[in-house]
Structure 1
Amino acid sequence: MLAAVATAGGLIFVPSAAAWATQAAPEPPAEPLPHHDVTQVTPEELVPPDGLDPGGCGSTVWPHNEILGFPTPYEGDGKQRNFSYDDTFYSRVETWFQFFRANTPIAVGPPFEIWCWGVFVDKGDCGDSFHKVGRAFDISRIYATDPATGIKSQVFNSRHDIWKSWTGSAFTTANRQYWTTAASLNYHFQHMLTYPWRADHDNHIHFDNGVSGSGNSSFNRASAQIFSAQATLNAIWGEALVVDGSWGPKSIAAAGRALGRIGVSGTLDTQSNWLAFNRASLRFGSGTQTY
C-alpha cells in the first residue's frame, strides 16, 4: 500500500511499513581501491591462511557467522558460513545494523538474515583491496520477520541484475528498499559502491571502512557517494536527477530541498548534514517517518 504525501513539488508516494517491501554518464570518479568480481570468488577464497588468523597482508582477522547474533548466509549458495573480519570493521558492521534496526519500522523485526558475497577474500596477492584485510563487506540481501505474523520477508535486495527488469510496484519497491538501505550504509561507511557507479556492482553493494575507519562518514563531492546521493534523492525524495556522478547545481538544489524538509539548512558538505540526510532517508524510505 502507498500513502500520498503532499510536497511543494506535488505528491510523493511513500510505502507503508507493511509494504516496505537516457543520457551517457561521464567516467566515474577515481576510487582509491580496486575491487574483485564477486561472481568469481570461490568459497575457499573466503578462508584466511590456516583457517583463522592472521589474515593476509599483515592483518589479523577473526571468523564470525553472524552480525548481532543474526546469520550471514553466503549469496553464492544460501548456506551459513564463517566470514573473517578485522575487529574494528566487525564492530562498525554491528553498529550499522543496530542503526538500521533502530530506524526501520517495528514490523521489520528479528530474526534477521544478512546475506553477502564475502568479507575477507584471498585472491593471492595483497594489492590495495580492503577485502584482503577483512575490512570490506559485499552485501546482497536482508530478510526480516514480521513479529505480528512470524512471516519472514525480504526487505533489501542488492541484486539489481535480477530486479532491474521488473516493472510496476515490484520494481518501485525493490528500488526504494535498495536506496533506503544504501542510505544507512552511507551514514557509517564513506567508501560505499552501488550499481550506478560501475556494472560489476550490479549484484551487490560494497562497503568498507578504509576511509572512515572507526567513525561515521562525511560527504565528498569527488567520490562514488555522488551516485548514491543522486539516486537516493530520486527514489526516496521524489527528485528527477540524472544519476551521473556529477554534483552540479541541480543536485545541490535537490539536496537542499530534502534537507529543508527534515529541518536542516545548508548543504551536504558538513558531516552533520550528511548524516542527517542519510538517517532521514532511511526513516522516510522505510516508512518509519514522513517529512
Structure 2
Amino acid sequence: MTRRRVLVAGLLGAGAVGGAVALQRADLPSLDRMPGVSGWSAPFPPELRARPVPVGRDALSTRRSFGPARHVYEVTGRPSAAFVTPDLGERVDAWLALHRRHVGQAADEVRTFGAWVAGSSSSWHSSGEAVDVARLRGGGRELASLRHDVWRDAPASELARRLRTYWRTAAGLHHEFADVLTYLYDDAHANHVHVDLGRFGAERPRLIRRSRVQAQGVQAMLVHVWGRTDVTVTGELDDRSLDAAGQVAADAGRPEGLDASREAWQAFLVATMQRD
C-alpha cells in the first residue's frame, strides 16, 4: 500500500474526521441500481480532504516509460526518469491506453515538464502525485500537443484542428484525473496540462459541479469538439452546458445525468475522445 492508502485506511478505521486528511462521504446511488441492471452505477468515490506529504525522490518509483511510451523531458528533448508514486504511474499508463483505444493515436513517447519536484506541502509534485504533460509523439512525429503557448496564434483552421485534438486528449486525462489544469486555468498552464491525484487518490474521478477545472473542460469540449456554438466557457456549469453534455452521455447509453454517476461522466468523456 502507498503512504496515502495506509493513511486513509487508518482514518477510516478510526472514524476520524480531522487531522491531515478528512473524508467527506458522498451520496450513494439508490439500492435498486444493481450490477447487471440497466442504469446501474458504482458508488461515488469520496473526495479526499488531504494535503500533499512531501517525500524524497528515493521514496518514489522510477519510471522511464509509461505503458509503451518512453518518458522524455520536454525542456531537453531527451529521455529521462520520472519519479512518481505507483498509483500515479498506473494512472498515466491507463490514460495512454485509453488514448490509444479511443483517439486512435499510439504514442511511443510522452513528453512532460516533470513529475516529482522537491518542495512544500502545497504541491502534489512534492509527493510524486502530479505530472505536467506537454506532448505525445509516435513514429517520429507529433500526435497531440498540449503546448497551447506554441500554437495559440495559428491561423483559424489550424487553430481549430489543434484545439480539437487538445480537448480530445484532455478528455482522456479528465477520465483518469479529477484536477486537470489547462491553459484555461491560468497562464502558467499554457505550455502543459497538469494532472494530480489530490482529490480522489487511487479512485477514478466523478464530476463535481463546483469544480472550475471540470466545468472548463466540459464547456471547452462542447465548443471545440462537439461544435456547440450556444455554449460559453465560463468555468461554471450552467444548465445549458449540463444538458448538452448530458445528451452526449445519453446517446452513449448513460441517460441519468452527467453528475448523477461516474459512469455518465465517463461516457461523455469517451464519446468526446472518439469524435473525430
Please give the range of the TM-score, normalised by the shorter of the 2 chains: 0.7 to 0.9
1:275 aligned partner: 266
The CA deviation string for residues 32-57 of structure 1, in whole angstroms up to 9 with x for no partner, is 889xxxxxxxxxxxxx85xx51xxxx
1:3 aligned partner: none
1:160 aligned partner: 148
1:140 aligns with 2:131: no
> TM-score w.r.t. structure 1 length?
0.72
The CA deviation string for residues 215-268 of structure 1, in whole angstroms up to 9 with x for no partner, is 211001111110011001111111122111011122122213322433431321
| Distance in 1 between residues matched to 2:170 and 2:237, nearest whole Å | 18
| Distance in 2 between residues matched to 1:218 and 1:172, nearest whole Å | 28
2:106 aligned partner: 109
Letter in 1 for 2:251: R
> TM-score w.r.t. structure 2 length?
0.75
| Distance in 2 between residues matched to 1:244 and 1:279, nearest whole Å | 23
2:32 aligned partner: none
Q: Which runs of 5+ in 1 are unaligned?
A: 1-30, 35-47, 54-59, 146-151
Please say if residues 146 and 166 of structure 2, whose CA atoms lie closer than 8 Å, have aligned partners that are also in contact.
yes
Q: CA RMSD in A?
A: 2.0
Please say if residues 257 and 264 of structure 2, whose CA atoms lie closer than 8 Å, have aligned partners that are also in contact.
yes
| Distance in 1 between residues matched to 2:239 and 2:63, nearest whole Å | 44
| Distance in 1 between residues matched to 2:222 and 2:141, nearest whole Å | 26
Letter in 1 for 2:127: V
Change (3 A) 1:179 1:33: farther
2:254 aligned partner: 264
Give aligned-pair identity as a percent: 28
Letter in 2 for 1:279: V
Task: Flag the structure with more relative contact order, 1 or 2, with Cα contacts below 8 A and sequence separation at least 6.
Answer: 1
1:232 aligns with 2:221: yes
Please say if residues 237 and 258 of structure 1, whose CA atoms lie closer than 8 Å, have aligned partners that are also in contact.
no
Q: Please list, as runs of the form range in 1=range in 2, the aligned pairs for 1:168-187 lying within 5 A after superposition.
A: 168-187=156-175
| Distance in 2 between residues matched to 1:261 and 1:133, nearest whole Å | 39
1:202 aligned partner: 190
Q: Which runs of 5+ in 2 are unaligned?
A: 1-48
2:177 aligned partner: 189
Please say if residues 219 and 225 of structure 1, whose CA atoms lie closer than 8 Å, have aligned partners that are also in contact.
yes
1:87 aligns with 2:83: no
